[in-house]
Chain A
């Protein structure tokens, strides 16, 4: 149990276009979902935390108008990278957690974004 999927697993897009990444909890209801970004050989960087039905809470330095997060249901959250630039190329990972704050976060497999 506790499976989180992400789609797509990799995507290449042109500079200036937008890309949407989906994160789904397949067998549990995710009260909270997290979006991370990870550059090569660096730590996970939390971008935002979203709770179902409410606006996402963005970390300092993350542009909320550029990285649009929607957590429309207890099993789906989406991250849209708008007007992507080459510096947005990274590994984007979502994770999900049930309503227990002490529970582990279940990670999706990640999405590798390359902006050309």
Chain B
């Protein structure tokens, strides 16, 4: 079967760094997306990894290890507006995104 495993909820302090881990099992693999979703809103794209390694984009970085079925999203210099759910979504052999429940990130002052 196909499944995603992410922590349900994480708490971090404003200005700090947080790493959200994701392990996955899919039928085939065509890359992995990270999306941010604020409560009551639709997801917005953060990053896409298809090769192993780290992709850096401003305060956000995403890492992928295909052999381990593992990815993480690293958020630096946390801001209150970063409080949201973060969705790890690998793409399977049919180019279909597989969605988990996401990680709810709570930022405290």
Contact = CB atoms under 8 A, between A and B. Distances in A.
Given A43-B99, A108-B42, A112-B40, 13 more contacts: A43-B100, A43-B101, A43-B102, A44-B43, A46-B96, A93-B43, A101-B95, A102-B30, A102-B31, A102-B48, A104-B33, A104-B48, A109-B41
Contacts of B27: none
B45 A106 contact: yes
How large, as a class, is the contact surface on chain A? 20 to 34
Contacts of B42: 93, 95, 107-110
B87 interface: yes
B87 A44 contact: yes
A85 B30 CA distance: 37
A104 B45 contact: yes
A105 interface: yes
Contacts of B31: 102
B50 A102 contact: yes
A45 B40 CA distance: 15
Q: Is the interface of A mostly helix, strand, loop or mixed?
A: loop
Q: Is the interface of B mostly helix, strand, loop or mixed?
A: loop
Interface of B: 30-31, 33, 40-45, 48, 50, 87, 91, 95-97, 99-102
Nearest to A107: B42
A49 B101 CA distance: 20
B43 A107 contact: yes
B28 to A, nearest CB: 12
A42 interface: yes
Contact of B101 (A42, A95, A106, A109): A42
A37 to B, nearest CB: 11
Interface string A73-100: 0000000000000000001010100000
A13 to B, nearest CB: 19
Nearest to A93: B42
A93 B87 CA distance: 15
Contacts of B101: 41-43
A41 to B, nearest CB: 8
